[in-house]
């Protein structure tokens, strides 16, 4: 069975006419706002990415009609140096996003890119999704010439699947911290529910990416998942398919979570256990190792980011953690490895707070002296924002 394509003039699969008109209006405001900030001689193009750019944006059903749910992610293509362009236009674009978000009814975000940066960038899931599923507000696909290496999902490296899984499992970690709080408001409940749904979707996406069968459409990915038959046939394969179906349903038709803490905690425990099994399966394949437990993984000496050069890693450590850190043995490893290790300890090792050795390891990876779960997660989140 093949998925029916969404008409290119739609933001959603089945949102009502008023929602489509609203999103079109927001795009007009964005185009006018960006045009007022960046002179025509520098502005090459403007496109909408994310779910709405692919025609699969979330539709929140309400008693007064359909509402948007996901963020609106706009990409501004400019001429010149990407770093200088970000410094010059980034703050003003961020302010524009803050100004438009309230009337848009969702977060409006901007990212500055240059055609040269797109052409030079290494193949990634992010650029694959952007190039294969987008909507132009200004310009056309001729601006993407020379970016063919981003267009074939078979070329997405396996460490991109690990990165996606790390980010979604980070949402599980942040949710675990909220579920431990004495009081949960509606925002906390919705945060947890939303992140659980993201994990459900990601588990299927990850196994497809590993096998070279990823696709920019979440609906097509689910069709492909039905034909996923890996060597060894993991016993959790059907669980992956079931959760992916629920994740797709939430992505296309999200709901505001009103479940009780106990119900969310139960769902969280189930997904955490499944994510742990997928994590070990993926990392053992990617690294050619055989870690039996996440503790073994977190304490193991195997380089978890071999795609990054030691010299570059030392420079990043010096800039991030201070010059002295560049000369440590750990300075030769890309800092994202710290997140991999800390995630395994904080999310999947119940004794991390009571086991002195595990606690010290988590503190060392995160560069913190925090001894409580909330403090450790806060340190993790700070590092995650830099290296996710």
Residues 6 or more apart whose Cβ sits within 8 Å of residue 296: none
Q: What is the CA radius of gyration of the chain?
A: 21
pLDDT of 20 = 97
Mean per-residue pLDDT of the chain: 93
Q: Over the stretch 257-315, which tens digit does the pLDDT of each residue have? A: 888 999 999 999 999 999 999 999 999 999 999 999 999 999 999 999 999 998 998 99
pLDDT of 83 = 87
Nearest to residue 154, comparing CAs of 73, 199, 212? 212
pLDDT of 307 = 92
Q: What is the CATH number of domain 157-285?
A: 1.20.120
pLDDT of 321 = 86
**Taking residues 81-109, what's their average pLDDT?**
94
* Strands 72-78 and 43-48, bridge-based pairing: antiparallel
**Taking residues 137-146, what's their average pLDDT?**
93
**Taking residues 107-136, what's their average pLDDT?**
93
Residue for token digits 């009780």?
260
CA dihedral 110, 112, 118, 120 (to 10 degrees): -140
User: How many angstroms separate the CA atoms of 209 and 196, rounded?
Assistant: 20
The domain spans of the chain are 17-151, 157-285, 291-388
pLDDT at 101 over 90: yes
Terminal Cα-to-Cα distance of the chain (whole angstroms): 35
Q: What CATH class has 17-151?
A: alpha beta
**pLDDT band at residue 70, thresholds of 50, 70 and 90?**
confident
pLDDT of 188 = 93
**pLDDT band at residue 339, thresholds of 50, 70 and 90?**
very high
User: How many angstroms separate the CA atoms of 367 and 344, rounded?
Assistant: 16
157-285 and 17-151 share a CATH fold: no
**Taking residues 197-225, what's their average pLDDT?**
97
Buried b (16+ CB within 10 A) or exposed e, 278-308: bbbbbbeebbeeebeebbebbeeeeebbeeb
pLDDT at 4 over 90: no
pLDDT at 5 over 80: no
pLDDT of 279 = 98
**Taking residues 112-133, what's their average pLDDT?**
93
pLDDT of 7 = 61
**Taking residues 316-338, what's their average pLDDT?**
87
Task: Find the length of the chain.
Answer: 388
**pLDDT band at residue 6, thresholds of 50, 70 and 90?**
low
pLDDT at 1 over 60: no
Q: Over the stretch 221-258, which tens digit does the pLDDT of each residue have? A: 999 999 998 877 899 999 999 999 999 999 999 998 88
């Amino acid at each position: 069975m093949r998925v029916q394509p969404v008409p290119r003039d739609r933001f959603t699969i089945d949102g009502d006419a008023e929602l489509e008109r609203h999103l079109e209006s927001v795009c007009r405001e964005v185009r006018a706002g960006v045009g007022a900030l960046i002179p025509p001689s520098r502005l090459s193009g403007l496109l909408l990415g994310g779910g709405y750019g692919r025609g699969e944006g979330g539709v929140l059903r309400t008693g007064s009609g359909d509402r948007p749910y996901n963020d609106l992610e706009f990409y501004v293509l400019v001429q010149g140096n990407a770093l200088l362009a970000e410094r010059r236009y980034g703050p003003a674009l961020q302010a524009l996003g803050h100004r438009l978000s309230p009337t848009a009814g969702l977060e409006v975000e901007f990212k500055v890119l240059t055609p040269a940066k797109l052409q030079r960038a290494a193949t990634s899931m992010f650029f694959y999704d952007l190039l294969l599923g987008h909507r132009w507000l200004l310009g056309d696909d001729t601006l993407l010439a020379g970016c063919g290496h981003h267009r074939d999902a078979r070329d997405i490296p396996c460490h991109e699947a690990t990165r996606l899984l790390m980010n979604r499992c980070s949402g599980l970690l942040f949710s675990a911290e909220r579920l431990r709080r004495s009081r949960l408001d509606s925002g906390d409940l919705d945060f947890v529910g939303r992140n659980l749904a993201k994990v459900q979707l990601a588990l299927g996406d990850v196994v497809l990416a590993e096998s070279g069968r990823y696709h920019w459409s979440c609906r097509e990915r689910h069709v492909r998942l039905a034909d996923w038959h890996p060597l060894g046939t993991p016993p959790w394969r059907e669980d992956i398919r079931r959760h992916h179906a629920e994740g797709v349903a939430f992505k296309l038709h999200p709901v505001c979570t009103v479940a009780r803490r106990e119900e969310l905690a139960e769902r969280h425990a189930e997904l955490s256990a499944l994510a742990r099994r997928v994590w070990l399966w993926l990392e053992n394949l990617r690294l050619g190792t055989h870690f039996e437990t996440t503790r073994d993984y977190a304490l193991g000496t195997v380089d978890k980011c071999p795609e990054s050069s030691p010299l570059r890693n030392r420079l990043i450590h010096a800039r991030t953690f201070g010059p002295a850190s560049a000369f440590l043995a750990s300075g030769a490893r890309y800092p994202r490895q710290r997140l991999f290790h800390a995630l395994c300890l904080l999310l999947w090792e119940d004794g991390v707070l009571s086991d002195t050795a595990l606690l010290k390891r988590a503190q060392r990876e995160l560069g913190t002296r925090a001894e409580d779960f909330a403090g450790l997660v806060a340190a993790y989140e700070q590092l995650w924002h830099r290296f996710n």
